[in-house]
Structure 1
Amino acid sequence: MGEATARTLEGRTAAPPPNGESADRPPADRRLSPRGPSPRGRRSPRRPRLWFEVLLIGVSYWVYSLVRNAVPEQKAQALRNADWIWGAEHTLRIAVEDTVNRAVNSVTWLVVGMNYYYATLHFVLTIGVLVWLYRWHPGRYAAARLVLFATTGVALLGYYLFPLAPPRLMPGGDFVDTVVVHHTWGSMASGNLADVSNQYAAMPSMHIGWSVWCGVMIAVLVRPVWGKVLGVLYPVATLVVIVSTANHFWLDAVGGLLCLGFGFGLSYVWYGAFPYRLARRVPVVDR
């Protein structure tokens, strides 16, 4: 009797678990991500597809440019809003953009470098960070992309509802349009390219929204300390550039941060976590 019972128990122990699960592996519903099951009602990131991402980014930027440039150029209202912003900054005692602009303009090599920075790095580094996330952080890519897209989308409302002239277009001669003065290829809102771009879409600043997005992704996700430092310095340098070239007020940067906050909030609601808190790899679900 004792031997028969022992053999029966041994057989039960050795029997494979149901549904083909290995004895040393957790159930499938616990392998959705390294952090455990996804919160109920939340979307789980999927593996990004290269062709779809390239198409989505291209079409989205085309639509963004089309809508941004189609916003009525309400010059009179934009100039009144610029006067209001400038007055508000004087009240807050932060209205030093004209001083910074003229000081940087006196150093030719510095201001020319800033003109090219303003015109190129805004796009190059943002695309670079997207590619980096796609390649090395696929589990976080979709949530991070949603932040960027939502930030940009809500910025379009700002361009429509609050047309704003940049400082360089304010009458009175206090600000210097550095692209025009130094004859550099720069902002599409200056010089020969001004006719194909909305001149009065300065609020919010997407140079700040996008650069802070890049900075957060880099500073939080890279391991080397020098990489984290660069992630922090990039949006700071961008802030200095947009003010020095008279393309934005300080408060335009605040508007960009508010839009970015909306983007992070929407991503959190959709995925149940901020992008950098998700698993690095796309969760594998057994079928």
Structure 2
Amino acid sequence: MSKPDEIPALSYILEPALVASLLTAGCLLNRRKATDIVQAHTLSGSLSPVTSSPENRSWDYKQMKFFFWTMKVPSNVKFRMNLFSRFLGMFPFLLEVWYWLLTYWIYQIARAMQALTMGSDFRILAEKHAREIIAIEKFLHLDIELGLQKIVMNRPWLLTLFNKTYAMVHIPATIAFMAYSYRYFSPLVFQSTRRTLVLCNCLAFIVFSSWPCMPPRLLPFEEFGYIDTLHTGKAASIWTTNKFQNQLAAFPSLHFGYSFVIGFSLFIYSPHRPIRAISLFYPLLILLVIMATANHYDLDAAGGFIVTVVAHRINRLVLNLRPIEEWLFWLLRCERPIDKVQFDNLIHQENVVNAGHRDMSQRPLMSGSPE
């Protein structure tokens, strides 16, 4: 693991700036036109509080499911003309930025609290589980991590590439994927993918909290021979120097789990052929990186894959949190932007109607003027 004193001072500015730039670019890429927003509200039949009657501006509630219960939540349409509501309506990806930051920091804080509270017994248990994984891999002839690392260590350029990839690519690649998929994927596909990634964090945290596993780089060198290449290669990054990070969380690998979701989703749903052509190389690269840097076993990657499959199967559970979201918007005196599924359907429907009208008006010119 890289140490703070190995990080160039400029990295404390450039690395967060890269993340901020990607989030900003995502907001600009997915900006909604004011005319489209007005058109969507009109087509949906929801009147503006400015033009509606006083009766329509009174408190209005709607029913929403919260797991096994039904809750009343406030309708926040009365806040539509607030400055924040209008700004958020024009830049709806800001909502995704907020959710990503919320998920990221809750996950990091939970890992930090776990790292601070675990004792020596936790470390002993983590090493025991790591030895069990190595034994299983040897039995299945899957113990390729050490051989792969030796190959990479003999090629300095490849070692540098893998170290930098592990330290600096995971977060920016995830943000770039979220911005891209929000813009180009079907809204239902994007929402399902986003919920899957959120649940990957939750499921992985449950697993490595109840079944800690030491990564190869922390095992005794004299016995196993693994090298912490991130430290040896001085792959200094602010993302790998968190002293509160739980380092006994090798299984499952979220690095691979996220890369699999990203690569497979791009391969299936991207409308751009060049991106589909290279998309599956991303999880393959991450798989090689996490093993060559001695941060994960290949069974950790298998665990990451299983977590993503389970998360995808149950991702709709996250929809039960919608009532909490509506109450939060009420506290902020803000209306939630029109859901992307509804917004895209309304705009597409109107465009089809307009296109049909244009086609009808041109038909006499194409077939000759009527008598």
Q: What is the TM-score when the length of structure 2 is the normalising length? A: 0.58
1:78 to 118, 126, 141: 126
SS at the partner of 1:126? helix
Contact kept? 2:256, 2:286, Cα under 8 Å? yes
Task: Tell me the residue number matched to 2:345.
Answer: 283
Contact kept? 2:257, 2:305, Cα under 8 Å? yes
2:248 to 172, 186, 200: 200
Superimposed CA distance per residue, residues 218-258 of structure 1 (whole angstroms, 9 cap, x where no aligned partner): 11122344321211111011100000000000000011011
Task: Tell me the residue number matched to 1:148.
Answer: 197
1:182 to 233, 242, 262: 233
Contact kept? 1:152, 1:206, Cα under 8 Å? yes
Q: 1:280 to 1:213 in 2, by over 3 A?
A: farther
Moved over 6 A (4+): 268-271, 278-281
Task: Tell me the residue number matched to 1:69.
Answer: 112
Q: What is the CA RMSD across the aligned residues, in angstroms? A: 2.7
Aligned residues: 233
Task: Tell me the residue number matched to 1:97.
Answer: 145
Task: Tell me the residue number matched to 1:248.
Answer: 296
Task: Tell me the residue number matched to 1:129.
Answer: 177
Moved more, 112-121 or 194-203: 194-203
Amino acid at match of 2:344: V
Unaligned runs of 5+ in 2: 1-42, 44-64, 66-88, 320-339, 350-371
SS at the partner of 1:223? coil
Task: Tell me the residue number matched to 1:57.
Answer: 100
Distance in 1, Cα, partners of 2:177 & 2:255: 15
Task: Tell me the residue number matched to 2:315.
Answer: 267
Give the 5 Å matches for 1:152-167: 152-167=201-216
Q: 1:164 to 1:243 in 2, by over 3 A?
A: same
Amino acid at match of 2:144: V
Task: Tell me the residue number matched to 1:6.
Answer: none
Task: Tell me the residue number matched to 1:223.
Answer: 271
Superimposed CA distance per residue, residues 122-180 of structure 1 (whole angstroms, 9 cap, x where no aligned partner): 11111111011222336132221111111111110111011111001111341111111
SS at the partner of 2:173? helix
SS at the partner of 1:255? helix
Q: CA deviation at 1:103?
A: 1.6
Amino acid at match of 1:210: Y
Distance in 2, Cα, partners of 1:128 & 1:113: 20
Amino acid at match of 1:128: A
Superimposed CA distance per residue, residues 82-127 of structure 1 (whole angstroms, 9 cap, x where no aligned partner): 1110011001111121111122112111111111100111111111
Contact kept? 1:137, 1:280, Cα under 8 Å? no
Q: 1:194 to 1:126 in 2, by over 3 A?
A: closer
Contact kept? 1:215, 1:235, Cα under 8 Å? yes
Task: Tell me the residue number matched to 1:32.
Answer: none
Asked if residue 258 in structure 1 is aligned to residue 306 in structure 2, the reply is yes
Amino acid at match of 1:94: L
SS at the partner of 2:266? helix
Q: What is the TM-score when the length of structure 1 is the normalising length? A: 0.74
Distance in 2, Cα, partners of 1:255 & 1:88: 14
Contact kept? 1:163, 1:202, Cα under 8 Å? yes
Contact kept? 2:195, 2:316, Cα under 8 Å? no
Asked if residue 239 in structure 1 is aligned to residue 287 in structure 2, the reply is yes
Moved more, 66-75 or 232-241: 66-75
Unaligned runs of 5+ in 1: 1-27, 29-40, 42-46, 272-277
